[in-house]
Structure 1
Amino acid sequence: MQDQVVMALADLFERYRRLGGIPLVAYDADFPSPAELLPAQGGRVGWQPWRRPEPGDFNNIAAALKMPLHADISAFFGHYYAGNVPGCFKGLFLTLLQPWNQQDFERLQQNQIGHQLMLQKLKLPASWFLASCRDEQRLVTLDNSSGEVLLERLGQGRIGVLAPNLAHFLRRLEPCG
């Protein structure tokens, strides 16, 4: 399933590029990424997904939390450095998160740990955030047990199932500008 997630993510990046050309993000000279297309102009820089030669993983998170992690979480966050991708899934507008560089990948892992500790404290099932929604109280997450993609209300848990798995979700997500 991990290969399907990586292929679906690559396809999503290509659909996003075809939609509007090279996506732009705010340029930060102190926070470079191999995904950047230089030179930066007007405070913005173009980006393209950059495939990591050695994928990152979440094994350190699994060890720290003393729990198995669904393999799709490493497949999704560990293979590329890229900008975030705005999208729409069945009328739900969201921003799919991606690490920009190694420092951002490590910060993402720390935020995932914080999310997991909050869920444990609230006695909610384990899930990993994938995207933010326009309504900041909702998140798109990956259910750690089943691998389903969920819509959750922050601090309250599952609202509903969006897709049976992450590859399916990524294939159906429509990038938007």
Structure 2
Amino acid sequence: MTGHTADALRDFTRRYLESWEQQRGHGPESEALYGVPSPCIVSSGDAVVRWRPQPFTLAKNLDAVGRALEIRINEQVVALYTSQFAGDMDAEFMGRPIALLQTWSEADFTRVQENLIGHLVMQRRLKQTPTLFVATTASELEIIAVDNLTGAVVLEKLGTSIRQPLAGDLPQFLAALRPAI
């Protein structure tokens, strides 16, 4: 499943980059990432940074997350976060605006792992099955996550057990995404 997820991410990333080129005449840019160091930076100025994905240079695992909670992390999520360094990518899933989360740099990868640990600790306290977030939504109360046990992608209402199935697995979810520029 790791290879399928990495392939699906590469395909979505290609479509995302092509959309930027077609609509704006250049690669992705971000105001939010301006001034934040990353190997992805192509240029910066006027309070924006232009970027291109770069190869992931760290060990391809989320072992720190697994060790902290004594669980095995779903390989799809490992592949999503360790295939490349990139900025978060705006997309639509079945008409719903989302931001596909990525790691921007080595330092950001550490932050993502810490946030995953915090999310899983909260779920453990609430006696919920573990999920790992992979995208944000327009609502601060909802995230898109992978069920760590089944691998299904769900829309999760934070702090509750409400989870709406979205896709059978992460590659299927990524294939259904449409770039939003």
C-alpha distance in structure 2 between counterparts of 1:152 and 1:50, whole Å: 30
Alpha-carbon distance in structure 2 between the residues aligned to 1:48 and 1:157? 37
Give per-residue Cα distances to partners, 1:122-175, cap 9 Å, x unaligned.
Answer: 111100001110011110000000000000001113331100000110011111
Q: Which of 38, 61, 69 is the aligned partner of 1:65?
A: 69
> Residues 102-129 of structure 1: CA distance to partner in whole angstroms, max 9, x if unpaired?
1111000000000000001111110000
Q: Which runs of 5+ in 2 are unaligned?
A: 22-26
Contact 1:6–1:76 under 8 Å retained in 2:
yes
Contact 1:97 1:131 in 2 (8 A): yes
What SS class does the counterpart of residue 123 from structure 1 fall into? coil
**2:100: which partner in 1?**
96
In structure 1, the residue matched to 2:5 is 5
Q: 2:140 & 2:169 partners in 1: Cα distance?
A: 23
If the length of structure 2 is used for normalisation, what is the TM-score? 0.92
> Do the aligned partners of 1:55 and 1:79 also contact (CA within 8 Å) in 2?
no
Distance 1:23 1:5 in 2: 22
Answering whether residue 53 of structure 2 is matched by residue 49 of structure 1, we say yes
Amino acid at match of 1:16: Y
- Residue 54 of structure 1 and its aligned partner are, at CA, apart by 4.4
Moved over 6 A (4+): none
**Distance in 2 of aligned mates of 1:137 and 1:95:** 14
Q: How does 1:20-169 map to 2 (within 5 A)?
A: 20-21=20-21, 22-26=27-31, 28-29=34-35, 31-38=36-43, 40-169=44-173
Q: Is the 8 Å Cα contact of residues 150 and 158 (structure 1) preserved in structure 2?
A: no
* Structure 1 CA distance for aligned equivalents of residues 13 and 170 of structure 2: 15
How many residues are aligned here? 175
TM-score (norm 1): 0.94
| Partner SS for 1:157 | coil
CA RMSD of aligned residues (A): 1.2
Conserved? CA contact 2:12–2:175, under 8 Å: yes
Give the Cα separation in 2 of the matches to 1:109 and 1:79.
15
Offset, 1:3: 0.6
Deviations 1:69-118 (A, max 9, x none): 11111100012110111111112211111111011110000000000000
Return the offset for 1:53: 4.0
CA-to-aligned-CA distance 1:19-57 (integer Å, 9 cap, x gap): 12211012544x31111112x121111111111244431
**Matched residues in 2 for 1:109 and 1:93: separation?**
24
Distance 1:52 1:139 in 2: 24
